[in-house]
Amino acid sequence: MWLLLTLVLFFFLATSFTFVLIFYKKAKKAEQVLSEREQELTRRIYETSILKEIGERIGYSLDVANVIEIICGSLGKLFSYSTASSILLSDHKIIFKCVLEESVDKVFIENIKHKMLASLSALLNEDIAEREMEEVISGTVLDEEKQHPLGSFFNIPLVIESQIVGLINIASEKQGLYKEEEMTILYRITAQASDAISKLQHVLKTEKGKLDSMVSSMADGVIMTDKDTKLLVVNPKAKEMLGISSDKEATIFDMVDALAGKFDLRTKIEESIKKEKEVFIEELELANFAIQLVISPVRDPQGAILGSVILLHDITSQRDVERLREDFTAMVVHDLRAPLTVIRGTSETLMLHLKALPREKTTQSLSMMKEESENMLARVSDLLDLSKLESGKFELLRERSSLSSLINEKIETFRDVATAKKLGILANVKLNIPEFEFDRIRTGQVLDNLISNAIKFTDIGKITVGAKLEGNDVLVTVSDTGVGIEEKDVGMIFNKFRELTQAERSAQRGTGLGLVIAKGIVEAHGGEIGVESKVGEGSTFYFTLPFNPLPKRRFFQRSQLTSAGFQV
């Protein structure tokens, strides 16, 4: 009986122990799973917080060192370490930073540095150990009293746009400290941060490319500096204006030298930045350009000064036109004053000595006054015609007329003047030009000007006036064997503000507006005017008039009109 009770008790105890053991194991496993989940949650929270901090602190900055600082500065939330180090490649220089979380000696740091350099050299397939290095050691104090062996470490490469730009190292004195989970999460954070910077860099490069293209194609010169007057941007037009070779990598000193003796660029940039105001120069004469120069401070969205932008606006053409306008005004005033002076002087003489002067002398003086009055009236008429042309108020009186008869009439008008210079003058008009509608008086004015100029500038030879049908136009030409026109002046010959040579001024009386008005008259008809010339051989001025022949008149017999009910 006792044996049976003993067996039952033993079985009960064994069963209970088994249940307790199973429960303990399940509880232990559940605790382990819970711990792992808690660790995973902690890692995820850490990862999210780090990425959030990177996003907030970087914004639109491409500062890779800032990213490394954020990552290394928050590693304590993930695992323990003795040092967090980084190497960053920058302009043929290496920046090595080491943050001491625990006290180590210099040998420990040197060991880390050599291992990082070796790893980075292998990744780049290039020995970078000989490059200039900048070192920054921070954190807790060094401990040189005892040795600190390197127990555990791992490296994480930093890759931006498929280019390795640096390395992050985590190291500890303890052996076998770092597991794959810790390394994976740090690698993932670094990779995501690198990817974010790569995308931002790509966007900024694209936008910068668009901006560079726009700035390069601008007609104005553009220069941009930072707040330390370091040159950031200079477009081709600015180099051209300042006489700097387009192939040269320009600096701010090149800009300063180009303006030396004319304008203190650097001082004015500093003044604009310091006083936060615009500097404006109305006109600045350079070797081949006249420019307006504006210096403006550049601010970020928060209003902080980033640097300055210098705009060089080419005013060479405006300056030249203004000078020509002034010369033209002076010429017109002179040409109006000359006949008035003659008229005033002659009239004063007549008033004072009318009775004493012979009749012949009096008649001569009156004729001179009449001639000068007519000259002055012609000048005023030119100015009025020009004013009407420019204001769009110039009107033509088109009527059916014969161009052939007009040309012959003008040739007879100028025959005596041509003969006096021993020049021939003749017509070469095709007989197939019927009557058509045009303004006979204004077209005669064009012919007067062209024939008159041909005679003035021809000393030997002849003047030929021709006309013929060409398609839907009548082509009129006035050719001479005179001095001709320089090729560079041909494009300006019909310009109101063209500069006259001394030879032209001495040979030409009047305002010099004849060709300008002739151009206006021809274009008002819907035609074109131009010139072909060769120096020493002569010129051919030509113009066209639209040819719209009138329908032929139909003549009726008296009997036809009577039978139709008309009284004749």
Q: What is the DSSP string of 254-273?
A: HHHHHTTTT--HHHHHHHHH
CB atoms within 10 A of CB 67: 26
β-pair type (279-285, 83-90): unpaired
The pLDDT assigned to 481 comes to 93
Q: How far apart are CA 538 and CA 44, in angstroms?
A: 92
Whether residue 533 sits in one domain with residue 408: yes
Domain stop point among 153, 171, 205:
205
Q: Is position 305 within any domain?
A: yes
Distances (CA, A) of 449 to 37, 95, 354, 388, 455: 102, 81, 38, 18, 10
Dist. CA 63–CA 424, nearest whole Å:
85
The CATH number of whichever domain residue 269 belongs to comes to 3.30.450.20
334 and 283 housed in the same domain: no
3-state secondary structure of 150: coil
| Nearest C-alpha neighbor of 106 from the set 73, 75, 137 | 137
What are residue 159's DSSP bridge partners? Answer: 164
E strand or H helix at 538:
strand 538-546
Q: Does some domain include residue 475?
A: yes
**Which pLDDT belongs to residue 402?**
92
Q: Which of 314, 346, 375 is the C-terminal boundary of a domain?
A: 314
User: Distance between CA 448 and CA 518 in Å, rounded?
Assistant: 10
Q: Exposed, middle or buried by CB within 10 Å (0-12, 13-18, 19+), for 470?
A: exposed
Region of residue 549 (left: phi > 0; alpha: psi -120 to 50; beta: else): beta
In a domain, residue 540? The reply is yes
**Same structural domain, 76 and 120:** yes
Is the CB of residue 346 less than 8 Å from the CB of residue 335?
no
**Structural domain boundaries, residue 119:** 57-205
Q: Residue 178 belongs to a domain with what CATH number? A: 3.30.450.40
Decide: helix, strand or coil at residue 179. Answer: coil
Is residue 379 domain-shared with residue 415, that is, in the same domain?
A: no
Q: Could you give the 3-state DSSP secondary structure of residue 500?
A: coil
CA 293/CA 255 separation, integer angstroms: 13
Q: Which contacts (CB < 8 Å, 24+ apart) does range 24-27 have? A: none
Whole-structure pTM value: 0.44
Triad 170, 176, 178: Cα angle to 5°? 45
User: pLDDT 10s digit of each residue in the chain, 568 long?
Assistant: 555 556 555 555 556 556 555 555 655 665 665 565 665 555 555 555 555 555 555 544 556 777 777 777 666 666 788 999 999 887 678 899 998 999 999 999 999 999 999 998 888 888 887 888 889 999 898 988 888 899 999 888 888 877 888 888 989 999 888 877 777 777 777 777 777 677 766 766 776 677 667 777 777 888 888 888 888 888 888 888 888 888 888 888 888 888 888 888 888 888 888 888 888 888 888 888 888 899 988 887 778 888 888 888 888 877 776 776 666 666 666 666 666 776 777 777 777 777 777 778 778 777 777 776 776 776 677 667 767 776 677 788 889 999 999 999 989 988 988 998 999 999 998 877 889 999 998 899 899 889 988 999 999 999 999 999 988 899 999 999 999 988 888 877 887 655 444 344 444 444 467 888 888 889 889 999 999 999 889 999 999 999 875 444 443 443 443 443 333 3
H/E stretch holding 454: helix 440-456
Residue 57: both structure tokens together:
């602190």
* Residues 405 and 542 occupy one common structural domain: yes
Closest among 241, 322, 324 to 286, alpha carbons compared: 241
Q: Cα separations (Å) of 512 from 204, 449, 450, 507?
A: 58, 10, 12, 11
Domain count, the chain: 4
The verdict on 88 and 110 lying in the same domain is yes
For residues 199 and 267, state if they share a domain. no
CATH number, domain with residue 349? 1.10.287.130
Closest residue by Cα to residue 37 from 51, 29, 184: 29
Considering the domain boundaries, does residue 552 fall inside one?
no
For position 411, which CATH number holds?
3.30.565.10
Domain shared by 84 and 171, yes or no: yes
* DSSP string of 540-568, one letter each residue: EEEEEEE--BPPPPPP--HHHHHHTT---
Q: Could you say which DSSP state residue 498 is in?
A: P
Residue 7 lies in a domain: no
The answer to whether 436 and 474 have CB atoms below 8 angstroms apart is yes
> Are residue 480 and residue 497 in the same domain, yes or no?
yes
User: Is 143 within a domain?
Assistant: yes
Residues 294 and 375 in one domain: no
Choose one of 314, 335, 359: the last residue of a domain.
Answer: 314
Cα separation, 463 vs 411, whole angstroms? 9
Evaluate whether residue 409 is within a structural domain.
yes
Rounded Cα–Cα distance for residues 165 and 149 (Å): 28
The answer as to whether 268 is a domain residue is yes
Pair (269, 164) in one structural domain: no
**Does residue 230 sit in the same domain as residue 294?**
yes
**Is residue 154 within 8 Å of 178, Cβ to Cβ?**
yes
